[in-house]
């Protein structure tokens, strides 16, 4: 739950500019980007995601390092990814 | 070293460790607290204590949000879940936290509906889909997750949802650190500051630790080298007689935090006069409740909440572990009566808990660390 998961922004949802579709290790889900208001989040950006919300923009190298770290910790990461995969926040 | 995972850049780690050793004053011992459970996880997973000179000891702090929820709040949640038509949701970590009459799974076996969700927004969606149910999100976490709850409350208000509320258990890290600093049990030389919490609150809130208590603070990232680098920065400050707040994790943590996140927390939540933390007891102004202007979304205003304080099981020493006074394996029930499969205390439930992290990864250096602790 406290894990920050890096995701790549694929698109900003047209009818909901506070939501973005992201790719996290191949899992594509909608997340909320409202906390990054004013930071011009765009496709191709990397963000650190906590419980369905992007909390900070990061660069690709940091995203890769964060993902390697997460993969190294095992079960906690698998549980977080399973929870993310089950999430459907968009209407 | 034979059980230690060789991580990327192990050579760099050894080089940092030797720089740390070079800063140790003869005969002096150094104790640093890593506040965040994510850091504890990295330390045990990679056996970082084995890289450090014996004079440098790491102490695990209270930064595991599931771990600090007292039993009484679990009972309160179950009481709310038993009200007619309630559908309760929480994060997966919360499901196995024991209350006085069992955990959420036990409660569901007796008829409640408590579901795990990934995001508070998943709860909001359940509320839209189930207009005949009262959906209650049990919110837990430090400032890392509080903005998500706040944004969800704002969204519920914007949509005019009448069947969604939050059982708010958000806690704030600064008062807990202050409680530890004021506790006579532990003498610390500095703090490895939490990474993700600081993404929200920034680095400034730690300044009192350096200014008033004279202890250095270094906000750190989660990789093994981040943590070793932070320890080196702490040692360097001590060596040079300085105590300031430094940001090792500036690639993610802005000095001023996330202003939008702070604004929405403040808009929807207010400080409680006091809140009980497991193991640390009642701490003033250490937790958040839903602000009166959003009372329609406050489960504590909508449902009866018994609020009965429940003492931890006698055998459980989570409190001492959370304060950093005991190492996990020094607890009497660690690994015997209390395991991740059948946890007695919260520190064994969450993967961020010191006991679970040590149980899963940490068998390699017990003897050495015991010598350091006792010796």
pLDDT of amino acid B110: 97
The pLDDT of B45-67, averaged and rounded, is 90
Per residue in B299-308, pLDDT tens?
Answer: 999 999 999 8
pLDDT of amino acid B278: 87
Per residue in B313-323, pLDDT tens?
Answer: 888 888 888 88
ipTM for the whole complex: 0.94
Examine the pLDDT at B122 and tell me if it is beyond 60: yes
Q: Cβ–Cβ of B148/A53 closer than 8 Å?
A: yes
Could you say which of B121, B141, B254 has the minimum Cβ distance to residue A2?
B141
pLDDT of amino acid B3: 35
B5 or B155, which is more confident?
A: B155
Structure tokens at B152: 């969800």
Per residue in B321-368, pLDDT tens?
Answer: 888 888 888 998 898 888 888 888 888 888 778 888 888 876 544 444
Contact of B120 with chain A, judged by CB distance below 8 Å, is answered with yes
With beta carbons under 8 A apart, name residues in chain A contacting B117: 83, 87
Instruction: List the single range of A8-17, A63-72, B105-114, B240-249 with lowest mean pLDDT.
Output: A63-72
Residue of A nearest to B264 (CA): A35
Helix (H) or strand (E) holding A21: strand A19-24
pLDDT of amino acid B67: 87
Averaged pLDDT of chain B: 91
B324 or A26, which is more confident?
A: A26
The pLDDT of B271-293, averaged and rounded, is 94
Query: In the structure, what pLDDT confidence band is assigned to residue B94 with cuts at 50, 70 and 90?
Result: very high
Residue of A nearest to B261 (CA): A35
The pLDDT of A24-28, averaged and rounded, is 93
Query: In the structure, what pLDDT confidence band is assigned to residue B245 with cuts at 50, 70 and 90?
Result: very high
pLDDT of amino acid B8: 63
Averaged pLDDT of chain A: 90
Contact of B261 with chain A, judged by CB distance below 8 Å, is answered with yes
Could you say which of B148, B251, B260 has the minimum Cβ distance to residue A37?
B260
> What pTM did the predictor assign?
0.91
Rounded CA gap, B225 and B8, in Å?
9
The pLDDT of B226-243, averaged and rounded, is 97
pLDDT of amino acid B6: 52
Per residue in A50-84, pLDDT tens?
Answer: 999 999 999 999 999 888 888 877 777 888 888 99
The pLDDT of B118-128, averaged and rounded, is 97
A52 or B5, which is more confident?
A: A52
The pLDDT of B239-251, averaged and rounded, is 97
B274 or B368, which is more confident?
A: B274
Contact of B41 with chain A, judged by CB distance below 8 Å, is answered with yes
A10: phi then psi, degrees, rounded to nearest 5? -95, -45
pLDDT of amino acid B371: 44
Per residue in B159-218, pLDDT tens?
Answer: 999 999 999 999 999 999 999 999 887 889 999 999 999 999 999 999 999 999 999 999
């Amino acid at each position: 739950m406290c894990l920050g998961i890096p995701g790549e922004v694929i698109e900003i949802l047209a009818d909901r500019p506070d939501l973005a579709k992201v790719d996290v290790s191949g899992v594509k889900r909608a997340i909320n980007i409202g906390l990054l208001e004013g930071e011009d989040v765009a496709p191709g950006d990397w963000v650190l995601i906590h419980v369905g919300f992007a909390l900070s923009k990061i660069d690709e190298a940091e995203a890769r390092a964060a993902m390697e770290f997460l993969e190294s910790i095992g079960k906690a990461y698998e549980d977080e990814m399973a929870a993310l995969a089950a999430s459907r926040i968009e209407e | 070293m034979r059980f230690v995972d060789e991580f990327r850049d192990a050579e760099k780690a050894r080089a940092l460790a030797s720089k740390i050793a070079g800063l140790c004053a003869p005969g002096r011992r150094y104790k640093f607290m890593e506040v965040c459970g994510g850091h504890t996880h990295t330390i045990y997973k990679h056996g970082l204590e084995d890289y450090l000179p014996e004079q440098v000891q790491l102490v695990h702090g209270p930064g595991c949000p599931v771990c600090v929820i007292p039993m009484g709040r679990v009972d309160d949640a179950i009481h709310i879940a038993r009200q007619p038509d309630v559908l309760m949701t929480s994060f997966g970590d919360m499901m196995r936290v024991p209350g006085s009459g069992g955990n959420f799974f036990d409660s569901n076996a007796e008829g409640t509906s408590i579901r795990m969700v990934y995001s508070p927004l998943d709860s909001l969606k359940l509320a839209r889909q189930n207009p005949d149910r009262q959906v209650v999100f049990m919110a837990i976490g430090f400032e890392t997750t509080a903005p998500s709850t706040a944004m969800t409350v704002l969204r519920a208000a914007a949509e005019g949802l009448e069947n969604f509320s939050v059982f708010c258990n958000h806690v704030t890290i600064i008062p807990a650190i202050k409680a530890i600093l004021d506790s006579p049990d532990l003498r610390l030389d500095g703090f490895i500051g939490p990474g993700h919490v600081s993404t929200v609150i920034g680095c400034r809130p730690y300044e009192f630790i350096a200014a008033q208590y004279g202890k250095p603070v270094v906000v750190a990232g989660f990789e093994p080298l981040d943590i070793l680098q932070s320890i080196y920065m702490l040692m360097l400050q001590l060596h040079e007689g300085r105590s300031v707040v430094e940001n090792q994790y500036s690639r993610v943590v802005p000095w001023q935090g996330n202003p939008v996140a702070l604004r929405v927390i403040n808009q929807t939540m207010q400080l409680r006069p006091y809140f009980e933390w497991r193991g640390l007891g009642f701490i003033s102004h250490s937790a958040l409740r839903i602000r009166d202007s959003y009372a329609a979304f406050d489960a504590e205003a909508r449902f009866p909440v018994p609020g009965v304080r429940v003492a931890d099981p006698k055998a459980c020493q989570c409190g001492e572990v959370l304060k950093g006074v005991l190492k996990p394996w020094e607890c009497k029930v660690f690994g015997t009566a209390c395991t991740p499969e059948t946890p007695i205390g919260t520190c064994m439930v969450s993967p961020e808990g010191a006991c679970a992290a040590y149980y899963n990864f940490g068998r390699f250096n017990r003897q050495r660390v015991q010598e350091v602790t006792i010796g």
